[in-house]
Amino acid sequence: MARYKSILQLTGSLDGLVFYKLNGIPVVRKKSGFNKKDFKTKDNYARVRENSTEFGHCSKVGKMLRRATFTFSNKSGDKFLYQSFAKLMTKIKDCDHFSDRGKRTVEVGLRTIEGKKMLHEFGFGNVNSIKYSLQSFLIDEKISLKINVTTEAEQIHLISIKPNYQQYTFEKNEEILPINSTLEFSFEKYFDSDDILYFVALTKGKDILAMGFVCDEK
């Protein structure tokens, strides 16, 4: 890319060069050799197509889960959360060792121990991770949760999320319980599926003291 000075202010392409304005300054660059038809059909673009498909999938899943937890994730203090969350989804997708390249998914990655661990250990910006407060999390007829430290929190929130990885939509249910002296809690099992995701937050008034995704220990 280079700046140019001319009486004529060109815009568009001419003889392999592209003229346009960048921040109000006339610039010129060589025309890209990229061709959409070649990208879609030629074998030498196969790996690029695979990466592009998987990247798009991970970005959409990340956006879906951020929307599902928006009440809390929006208060993480991290303005680049969307980027770090997309990277997390990419790492989880890489745990899918069962699908062909270009078809690997976050859904399958989250069925692995490694993928679940990555989701559980992810930190939301400046807010403490729930993993430091969580002693146990078990799913049976009900959902049993125990925290391991005395806390200033007044309430514990459990969000159950049922993702649709094809449509990038979700169903969710949030249950809120007051903190008790035993630090043990029993929540209703709202969805009956192995692919449900669980998000826990500890709050005091409007303040979030800890939050994050949790995984069944079984």
Q: What's the pTM?
A: 0.79
User: Helix or strand or coil: residue 6?
Assistant: coil
Question: How far apart are alpha carbons 201 and 63 in whole angstroms?
Answer: 19
Per-residue confidence (pLDDT) for residue 39, from 0 to 100: 47
- Alpha helices, DSSP H, located in 122-204: none
Structural domain boundaries of the chain? 2-33, 38-214
Residue 19's DSSP bridge partners are: 12, 28
214 Cβ neighbours under 8 A, 6+ residues apart = 120, 130, 131, 134, 137, 145, 198, 199, 200
Confirm if 27 and 20 have CB atoms less than 8 A apart.
yes
Task: Report the candidate in 116, 139, 96 with the shortest Cα–Cα distance to residue 212.
Answer: 116
User: What value does the mean pLDDT take over residues 50-73?
Assistant: 93
Beta bridge partners of 173: 160
Considering only CA atoms, which of 74, 53, 193, 66 is closest in space to residue 119?
66
The pLDDT tens digits for 136-158 are 999 999 999 999 887 899 999 99
Q: How many residues does the chain have?
A: 218
Helix (H, G, I), strand (E, B) or coil at 46: helix
Residues in a beta bridge with 162: 171
Q: What is the pLDDT of residue 217?
A: 59
